[in-house]
Amino acid sequence: MEAEFKIMNKLNNPFVLKARYFFNDTKYLYLATDIMLLFGDLLRSADDITENEARFYIAEMVLALEYLHSKDVAHTDAHINNWLLDKDGHMVLFDLG
């Protein structure tokens, strides 16, 4: 977790999650971030999204991955459950472990 925290905090992009701090107890590790919505939950609860909404989300996903690649960070697990929506409805990638 400490390595993931260090990676997250050296990056500066609105589409990549910024960790505030982390801590652990005897059983779990905790990562504190801003409050966000799981993108997968939005898709499961929505009846339908428009083609323009899909383009918007995909464009932001591409921007996040392009940014990571420009910093020599390879994200190998960018499935739907590793994407969040911030308070303004923008995509945010997490799980950089």
Residue 77 among the catalytic residues: yes
Distance (Å, whole) CA 38 – CA 80: 9
Residue at token pair 């993931």: 4
Options 34, 48, 77, 86, the catalytic residue: 77
Q: Which of 85, 82, 81, 91 is nearest to 36 (CA)?
A: 85
Token pair for residue 95? 């799980």
Torsion angle, alpha carbons of 16, 19, 22, 28, to 10: -40
Which residues participate in catalysis according to the annotation?
77
